[in-house]
Structure 1
Amino acid sequence: MQTQCQLDSLQILYQDESLVAIHKPAALLVHRSPIDKRETQFAVQLTRDLIGQDVFPVHRLDKATSGLLLFALNKDAARHLSVQFMDHSLQKSYIALVRGWTQDYGEIDKPLLYKKDKYGDRDKQEPTEAQEAFTAYHTLAQTTLDKPLGKFEQQRYSLLALSPKTGRKHQIRRHLNGISHPIIGDVNYGDRNHNHLFNDWRGYHRLYLAATALEFSHPLTEQRTCIQAPLQNDFVQTLNALNLECAMLKYFQTL
C-alpha cells in the first residue's frame, strides 16, 4: 500500500518571501559543528544552495532527528520567528516509536539541566539550574514484536504523538527515557538492547523520532500557519513492519 509521501533526502516543503521549510533527513547536521568535524554537508548550506539565497536558522533539530526544519529568509522574519520559539507561542508536533506500552495520555513536567556539548558549548555561559521543561504526549497505537530479547519472547512498543511546549536540548529524548519509555534508536538515552534488535531486524541505524508539524504566526501576515512534514522512508517501513501503518496515516490526517 502506498503511504503518506516518503522522503529520504532534503526537500523543500514550503516556501514564500519570508520563510522556507524543509524536510531534514536523519543524520544530517543543521549547521557546522566542532562535534562532527568530518561532516561536509549541512542543512543550512544545502537549503541555501537549493533555493539560491541565504537562510537564517530560527531553531534546530538534533542530527539524529528527521523532519520539519524552518528557516527565515530575512532578518526581520528571523527575529519574529525566534521570539515565538523563545516564548513558546508556536505549536510543535513530533512522532516517536518507544519501548513498552505507554499510558493513553501523559504530561511530563520535569525541569532539565542544560546539557553542554563537549566541544560546541565549551566556552558558553549556560544556566546552572534546571530549566522548565514540559512535554505532552498521547498514544497513537501499541504493538508487539515476536522476537526474543532477554527473558521475554515478545517485545512491546508504542507509537506516540508528542507536543513539547518548551525546547530544551534533547528534551523529548530525555523526558521519555525518564518515564522508562526511551525512543528506539536513541544511542544517548535509549535501551541499547532494543536498539540492537531493531538495527539487526530492520537494518536502519536511526533514531525513531521525527518533527512532523509546526503551527505559528506568519512573520509577514501574522496569520496562523501550519506546515507538515512526512516521515522518512525508513521510518515508514519500520512502522509498516510493526503493523502501525493505519495509526500513522490517521495521525497525519488529524494534524
Structure 2
Amino acid sequence: MTNPLSLLYRDEHLVAVHKPAGLLVHRSKLAGGEREFLLQRLRDQLGQRVYPVHRLDRPTSGVMVFALDSATAARLGETFTERRAAKRYLAVVRGVGPVHEWLDYALREEDGSRPKAEMPALEALTEVKRLDSVELPVQVDRYPSSRYSLMEVRPLTGRRHQIRRHLSRRGYPIIGDAKHGKGNHNRFFAERLGCPRLLLAAVGLSFEHPVTGRCLTLSCSLDAAMTTLFQHFGWAGHLPSDRADCAEAPLSLA
C-alpha cells in the first residue's frame, strides 16, 4: 500500500505537498509506461480535484503547491509566470562551489520537440551560495580525495532543468544527475552512501496567497536518504523542517 503524501499546508483554496523524488507530477508524453503520478495520488488522498500551477522535475523532491479550484489556479499560475514566487533549493555538488555567485548563462529549451540548435536561447538567472563542504579521504576519480559542497540555490527564472544545467556549466554538477553530472561520483553516492538519486530538493517556497493576499512561506524537510547524508557529512545544522507561515507583510524577492 502506498504511503500517504505529506501535506505541508492546506486551506480551502490551496494545498502544499512534499513531492517524493522519482515521482512524475502528471501524465505527459514523456511518462512512458508510468502508472503513478503525484496529481492522481494527491487527488485520491484528498478526495477532490487539484490543479497544478508550477512544476518540479521527476528526480527532484520537495515542496509543490496545488490550487483546489480553477479560479485560484489561474491567479496563482500568474504569480509563477510573472516570477513573483521565491524558490529555495538545496543541492549537493561535486567540488568546492562558489561562496556566492549569480549564474546568468542563457539556456535553450529542452522540450524534445525540435533540435536544441533550433531553439532560441532564453535568459536564465540563478543565485547560488555555498553553505558547507566536505572532503572525503576516498579516491573517486583522479584525485586521492574527493570534495563535495552543499549549495543553496535560488532560481530567478524557470527554464527547464535550469539549476542542473547552470551548476554543471559552472563546473559543479549535482550529484545523481545522469545527464549533466559525473557517472563515477553518482555511482559512489549510490553504492557507498545510500543516495541513488538526484541530490536536489526544493525546500522553500514563498508567494502571495491568491485569495487572502497574505505572504505564505512554506518550508519542506528532506527525505530520509538526504537527511542521513547531511548527518554523515556534518551538515545537520542545515536540515530544513516542515513549516508553513503566513504574514501580513508583502513578499520581497530581494
SS of residue matched to 2:122: coil
Contact map agreement 2:100 2:129 (CA 8 A) in 1: yes
Q: Which residue of 2 aligns with 1:79?
A: 74
User: 160-169 or 144-153: which moved more?
Assistant: 144-153
Contact 2:222 2:239 in 1 (8 A): no
Cα offset for 1:136?
Answer: 0.2
Superimposed CA distance per residue, residues 49-95 of structure 1 (whole angstroms, 9 cap, x where no aligned partner): 11111000101100000000110111111111111111111100100
After TM superposition, the structure 1 = structure 2 runs for residues 129-144 of structure 1, keeping only pairs within 5 Å, are 129-144=120-135
How far apart, in 1, do the equivalents of 2:220 and 2:140 lie? 33
Q: Does 1:59 align with 2:54?
A: yes
Matching of residue 202 in structure 1 with residue 193 in structure 2: yes
Is structure 2 residue 107 aligned with structure 1 residue 116? no
> Which amino acid in 1 is paired with 2:18?
H
How far off its partner does 1:9 sit?
A: 6.6
Q: Distance in 1 between matches of 2:199 and 2:181?
A: 11
Q: Kindly indicate whether residue 140 of structure 2 is the aligned counterpart of residue 149 of structure 1.
A: yes
List runs of 5+ in structure 1 lacking aligned partners: 1-7
**Is residue 28 of structure 1 aligned with residue 15 of structure 2?**
no
Letter in 2 for 1:67: G
Which of 190, 193, 203 is the matching residue for 1:212? 203
Compute the displacement of 1:150 (Å): 2.6
User: Alpha-carbon deviation of 1:187?
Assistant: 0.5
The 3-state SS of whatever aligns with 2:81 is helix
Give 1:151 deviation, angstroms.
2.4
What CA RMSD, in Å, does the superposition of the two structures yield over aligned residues?
Answer: 1.7
Amino acid at match of 2:24: L
Runs of 4 or more consecutive aligned structure 1 residues displaced over 4 Å after TM superposition: none
TM norm structure 2: 0.89
For residue 111 of structure 1, report the CA deviation from its aligned partner: 1.1
State the distance in 2 between where 1:70 and 1:134 align: 22
Q: Measured at CA, do residues 9 and 246 of structure 1 come closer, stay the same or move farther in structure 2, by a change above 3 Å?
A: farther
Q: 1:231 maps to what in 2?
A: 222
For residues 150 and 225 of structure 1, the distance between their equivalents in structure 2, rounded to whole angstroms, comes to 44
- C-alpha distance in 2, partners of 1:129/1:34? 22
Partner AA of 2:7 in structure 1: I
**Partner letter of residue 88 of structure 1?**
R
**Secondary structure of the equivalent of 2:174?**
coil
Tell me the distance in 1 between the aligned counterparts of 2:184 and 2:220.
30
Residues 90-115 of structure 1 show CA distances to partners (whole Å, capped at 9, x for unaligned) of 10010000000012101001111011
User: Which runs of no fewer than 5 residues in structure 2 stay unpaired?
Assistant: 244-254
Q: Name the aligned partner's letter for residue 56 of structure 1.
A: Y
Count of residue pairs the alignment pairs up: 237
For normalisation by structure 1, the TM-score amounts to 0.89
Query: Which residue matches 2:247?
Result: none
2:12 corresponding residue in structure 1: 17
What is the Cα deviation at residue 149 of structure 1? 1.8
Structure 1 match to 2:161: 170
Give the aligned partner of residue 3 of structure 1.
none
The offset of 1:249, in angstroms, is: 5.6
